[in-house]
Each structure stands twice: as structure tokens, then as C-alpha cells.
A and B are shown apart, each in its own frame.
Chain A
Amino acid sequence: MQEEALMTGNSGKTDSLLAVTGLMIAIFMTVFMIIVVYGVDAAMPGVHDMFHDFRHSIGIQCH
């Protein structure tokens, strides 16, 4: 049964809770990636500077 639940991803409330948690993580990471890619100079200058090389490497416009 557990094996089946893992394969299909349909095991009721627990899986729904996990899916919502996953979605929240995904939304958080979306915001995080926006900061990583574009930078938020006023709010988080350290993060913007830290990901400078990564941003250039993946071809996103930068200073």
C-alpha cells in the first residue's frame, strides 16, 4: 500500500499536506531565485553580491 502511495502520489490528507508544504517551499524558492537573479540591493546587498558570478554564468543581465 505504501509502495503504491509512493508511486502514484495519492494517499489522502498526508499527501495533500506534503503537496501544500512543497508548494510553499516552491513559492519561497521562487522569491529566493528572483533575489538571486535580479538582486535586491536595498534589502539584501550581500545576497546580490554573493550570486554575482552565478548570475553572469547563467547569462542573466547584470552590472
Chain B
Amino acid sequence: MQCEDNKVSQRSTNLLRGIFVGTMSGMIWGVLVLIISSFTQLFAFDFSFFNDIFVFIVGGAGFGLLLGAFLEASKNKLPFQPIMAQSITVSVGIWFLFFTGGLLLHILKPDRYHMEGSQHLQGFLLSILLGLIFGFFWISFSKNLKNI
């Protein structure tokens, strides 16, 4: 019965819940992006680690917020149900939208917007990571909500 209630809770649409979970997971993701990028060294950073940390948290929160809002809006329409698979799909989808926009800009202004294969691959993998973090938080959040 509890399991059924939990499933109903996860399936219902609540935009604020999605935004909250998305923002929280995005902020954590932002910090992880900065740490991973510092290790991979795929490009030269313009700013120091401590200057960038706030920027990455804000950027990650924005990305996560988008993920949460779009997932809440689309999760009942996706052809598969596990929230982890849905969050990864939507996260990669949002990243791909931005990437496609950048690709168009690259075609229009190749001198201004460059293609960097290794950075795109890193971004793609990081978008999967965001989906995983979001899915984990979503499951935890739904369980905690049940206990309130």
C-alpha cells in the first residue's frame, strides 16, 4: 500500500517539487563539474577554482532547475517509467538542445564558436551524471515526503 502511494506520488505532476529537486541536484552537480574539469584539464580556466565555484553552483542550479521543470512536465508522457532513466534522458536532451544551438552558432560564426570534441564528450557524460544525481535525489525526496 505504501509502495503504491509512493508510486502515485512520484507520478503526479508538481512543478515546485521538480524545481526544488532539480535545483538542489544541479548545485551539487555544478561543484562536481568544476572538480572533474579541474582534473581533466581539457581547456585553460580563465578564473581560479575559488572564483569559479560560485559560478558553477549558479550555472548548475540553472541547469538542474530546467531539468526538474521539464521532467515534471514530461515524465507522464515518456514511453518508459523508471525515474532514473527518465531523468537521464531529459538531462541529455536539454544538453543536446544547447549543443545543437551551439552547433548552429558554429555554422554561422565558425571563427567565434569552436568545436572541441573532448569537451563535448565530457559535457555529454556530465549531463548523464546530472540525470543520475537528479534521479537519486528524486527517489530520496519522494521517500522522505512520504514520511512527513
Contact = CB atoms under 8 A, between A and B. Distances in A.
Contacts of A23: 15, 69
Contacts of B99: 59-61
Contacts of B66: 26, 29-30, 33
Contacts of A9: 12-14, 17
Range of interface residues on A (Cβ < 8 Å) = 20 to 34
Taking chain B's interface residues, is the majority helix, strand, or loop, or is none over half, making it mixed? Answer: helix
Contacts of B33: 54, 57-58
Contacts of A50: 55
A45 B99 CA distance: 21
Interface residues of B, number: 53
Interface stretch (B79-87, B111-119, B131-139): B111-119
A30 B9 CA distance: 26
B19 interface: yes
Nearest to B11: A8
A40 interface: no
Interface string A11-33: 00000001100110110011011
